[in-house]
Structure 1
Amino acid sequence: MAKARVLVVDDSMTMRMMVAGILEKDKDIQVVGMADGAEEARAMVRDLKPNVMTLDVEMPGMNGIDYLAEIMETAPMPVIMFSTLTAKGAESSIEALRLGALDCYPKPTRATPDEMQAAFGKLSKTIKEAPKRFAELNDGPSASAAKRASATGAFAWNGTIVTVGADVASTKPLFDLLGRWPADGPPVMVVQHMRPELADGMIAKLSDSVAPRVVEASDGLKVEQGMIVFCRPGTHHVYIDAWPGGTIRLLDKPPFAGQRPSISLMMATLAKSAAAKTIGVLLAGGEDGQQGAAALRAARACAIAPAEDGSGKLELGRGMAVQPIKSSDIAETVLGMCRG
């Protein structure tokens, strides 16, 4: 595996040095440069050609969010953001993820080595996986530039429910997918693995960005057409007791594959109760999710998921039959299967 070539961008010299120090402990990471802001970073991107960037949200001059938007528009590359542990910081984190950042780490309250290691313990792994993950999530034209789903005209819903599994890195594809949903489209259950403190910001941002009504999963909630249900991370597993006409149930059980709620549990329960009227969309790989997609396919339901060969390409499958599908085609394909 080629080394990850990282550019560290932060207006604080202390933070730059500490982040670089953590990353350089890994033999598969090379910090090629450190920049104090967007202007210096542009020159270093041109001259040093990094393939991953770490970027602070709060910087003087052009802030990190605006610079991230510029990067994704002009020369897309994997970016890992850092933000403060505040309400404003959480809002900025969600916006960064929506724009295409692969993750957004909370900054420690004090930049001591111990706090830095605790806050960024998984940073090296994220950095090393970033180029491959970024390529997987950008396999086709971005749906963000696509025409927003029209709110006019009735959607002839055939009773199919859609369940979507995602991780923090697939936030942009999630927004791209749901941004095409009509206001009266098929109901969608969303399980996204992310830090719990980002959940409120995610629900608020989705509500502002998509046509359907966005609600948080709660015990006894009736699932209806025109509804996107977001399952809060870190509290309970979530499933639907029956379909059609089902209601949400919260289950207080240990995490599955390290996750709660579990994507696989949601998909597996629907595979058992409503396979003929369920479509699963898995935007992220990993142990949790792949088992759920496999359960749907085995039950003759449709599931879109990353290929099992590790290529990162997406496949639409039912039973043993699979075919490739581009991420930019998911919304149109799924909506087509949900029409009467």
Structure 2
Amino acid sequence: MKNCARVVVIDDSMTMRKWLITILNSDQRLSVVGEASDAIEAREVIKKTSPDVITLDIEMPRMNGLEFLNRLMRLRPMPVVMISSETRKGSAAAVHALSLGAVSYLWKPDNPRNLDTAAVCETVFVAANAKVQEKNGAVKQQKDVHKVVGRDDQVILVGASTGGVSAIETFLSGLPITAPPVVIAQHMPSQFLRSFSSRLNGIMPHDIAMAQDGEILKRGQVRLAQSCDKQTGAKQTSMGWQIVMEPPEGYEKYNPSVEHLFQSAVQYAPNVVAIIMTGLGNDGARTMRLLRDNGALTLGQSETSCVVYGMPRAAMEIGAVQEQVHIEKIASRLVALTESHQEASQ
């Protein structure tokens, strides 16, 4: 069919390849144009077919998927959907893949028949239309990491989805450890979020962990919103900003929910910096507008630096974003704006 997204399937299991090919070809938006059993074979198939997107198994012979992905994103960046096993080790590897530039991931069940056809097709289709950002090597740390940023009564709230792993790493790498505390709502299952938290804590100088109900936050701390039966919010108390775990109450569509995180801080808006990053949909747009209307500083990731310009676009279109900034400059722009924002609010 015309205008189909061209897909190459890479997996060492012939059974899994055949199932994926059958599933993907059943969607009129997708067309499988090639397959490979390992990374070495994949290089030739990609050269011959020039796909729009590839699915890539993590565990493969000769060269594992992560090593191949790392090389691919440096030499020929393209949308990639990782396939990982349903294990703790698999989730850590998948998060690493997302940090390297993969757009999304799929669980690899023991039995290929258990693949969710609709979810597989939608994930691959969305990835095929994503804007891949070329990776320029290891995360670069902020030079002046001890420069005091913002006021003691401020908090930084961040929302992200597809493409968010790499975006968040880039943002935090430029944020001084003396900055106000950061709370992040990143759309991910709980197992992936725990792996992401562990990864960030190992590569960043900040104190990074999963959000815990009742915790009082301090400068230099970064907390990831939980994906559980409750939503993560933040409120200001006499002791400082505090994590609050609350019932969903209408925010069930996404867990964690950017909308809920932003809403929880609206009454303290003059002390909030809200940032909306790459992602599909409009989560966070409405309550980001409320934050801005009530005195918060609001920033959106620029279209050119987004993997998926969905959430920032939605926020921009309703006037929730004061300024759009390239992901590599959001941290430095935040540092520059906090003092002028403080003066304007006095």
**TM (normalized to structure 2)?**
0.86
Q: Are residues 259 and 174 of structure 1, via their aligned partners in 2, closer, same or farther at CA, if it must alter by over 3 Å?
A: same
2:148–2:176: 8 Å Cα contact kept in structure 1? yes
For the residue of structure 1 that corresponds to 2:102, the secondary structure is coil
Q: Are residues 321 and 12 of structure 1, via their aligned partners in 2, closer, same or farther at CA, if it must alter by over 3 Å?
A: closer
Q: 2:295 aligns with which of 297, 300, 307?
A: 300
Deviates further, 53-62 or 256-265: 256-265
Q: 1:223 aligns with which of 207, 217, 226?
A: 217
Residues 1:162 and 2:163 are matched in the alignment: no
- In structure 2, the residue matched to 1:188 is 182
Residues 1:269 and 2:270 are matched in the alignment: no
Alignment of 1:222-261 (within 5 A): 222-242=216-236, 245-254=240-249, 256=251, 258-261=253-256
Cα displacement string for residues 52-95 of structure 1 (whole angstroms, at most 9, x for unaligned residues) = 00000000000000001011111110000011111211111111
Deviates further, 99-108 or 124-133: 124-133
For the residue of structure 1 that corresponds to 2:163, the secondary structure is helix
- In structure 2, the residue matched to 1:110 is 111
- In structure 1, the residue matched to 2:102 is 101
Alignment of 1:201-216 (within 5 A): 201-216=195-210
Q: How many correspondences in the alignment? A: 330
Unaligned stretches of 5+ residues in structure 1: none
Structure 1 residue 218, shift from structure 2 partner: 1.3
1:257–1:287: 8 Å Cα contact kept in structure 2? no
The percent of aligned pairs where both chains have the same amino acid is 26
Q: Output the aligned Cα RMSD.
A: 2.7
Cα displacement string for residues 136-186 of structure 1 (whole angstroms, at most 9, x for unaligned residues) = xx3xx7576563124753424323311111125321111111122222222
Runs of 4+ in 1 over 4 A off after TM superposition: 141-146, 313-323
Deviates further, 174-183 or 250-259: 250-259
Q: Are residues 26 and 68 of structure 1, via their aligned partners in 2, closer, same or farther at CA, if it must alter by over 3 Å?
A: same
Alignment of 1:140-151 (within 5 A): 147-150=140-143
Unaligned stretches of 5+ residues in structure 2: none
- In structure 2, the residue matched to 1:57 is 58
Structure 1 residue 36, shift from structure 2 partner: 0.8
For the residue of structure 1 that corresponds to 2:283, the secondary structure is helix
Query: What is the alpha-carbon distance in structure 1 between the residues aligned to residue 237 and residue 137 of structure 2?
Result: 32
1:255–1:262: 8 Å Cα contact kept in structure 2? no
Cα displacement string for residues 23-69 of structure 1 (whole angstroms, at most 9, x for unaligned residues) = 01111101010111111111111111001000000000000000010
2:194–2:210: 8 Å Cα contact kept in structure 1? no
Deviates further, 200-209 or 312-321: 312-321
> What amino acid sits opposite 1:328 in the alignment?
E
Q: Are residues 221 and 144 of structure 1, via their aligned partners in 2, closer, same or farther at CA, if it must alter by over 3 Å?
A: farther
Query: What is the alpha-carbon distance in structure 2 between the residues aligned to residue 14 and residue 326 of structure 1?
Result: 42
1:241–1:248: 8 Å Cα contact kept in structure 2? yes
Query: What is the alpha-carbon distance in structure 2 between the residues aligned to residue 325 and residue 156 of structure 1?
Result: 18
2:301–2:326: 8 Å Cα contact kept in structure 1? no
2:145–2:175: 8 Å Cα contact kept in structure 1? no
2:82–2:97: 8 Å Cα contact kept in structure 1? yes
Q: Are residues 180 and 322 of structure 1, via their aligned partners in 2, closer, same or farther at CA, if it must alter by over 3 Å?
A: closer
Structure 1 residue 307, shift from structure 2 partner: 8.2
Query: What is the alpha-carbon distance in structure 2 between the residues aligned to residue 306 and residue 149 of structure 1?
Result: 19
For the residue of structure 1 that corresponds to 2:122, the secondary structure is helix
- In structure 1, the residue matched to 2:8 is 7
Query: What is the alpha-carbon distance in structure 2 between the residues aligned to residue 116 and residue 215 of structure 1?
Result: 32
2:149–2:176: 8 Å Cα contact kept in structure 1? no
